Amino acid sequence: MERKCPLFLKEWPHDSIMYGRFGTKYPVTYNLSNDDPNEFIICVRHSIDDRFYVKGGIDRELQVFVILDSDKIKKRLNDY
């Protein structure tokens, strides 16, 4: 059987979900990478310039990225 990332998650709406507490909601999206179909990206967008995303895939270590004011900062999961 060939392993690959799903185009859509059954439990996930096709566009995005909203997540947050205390009245503030942020859009959360799941997409396949444009560069590699065996890689997915889950993104939480806090504002136009600030977002947090996790990149992973088949036989890949998860990577965490934080973008503040359009500056990309790569973190390891152990940093959280």
Span 23-55, pLDDT tens digits: 888 888 888 888 888 899 988 888 877 888 888
Model pLDDT, residue 61: 85
Q: pTM above 0.75?
A: no
Q: 């900062």: which residue's tokens?
A: 73
Q: How far apart are CA 32 and CA 20, in angstroms?
A: 23
Domain extent listing, the chain: 1-27
Partners of residue 46 on adjacent β-strands: none
* Residue-level pLDDT at 49: 77
The whole-number pLDDT of residue 74 equals 62
Total residue count of the chain as it appears in this document = 80
The amino acid that residue 12 corresponds to is: W
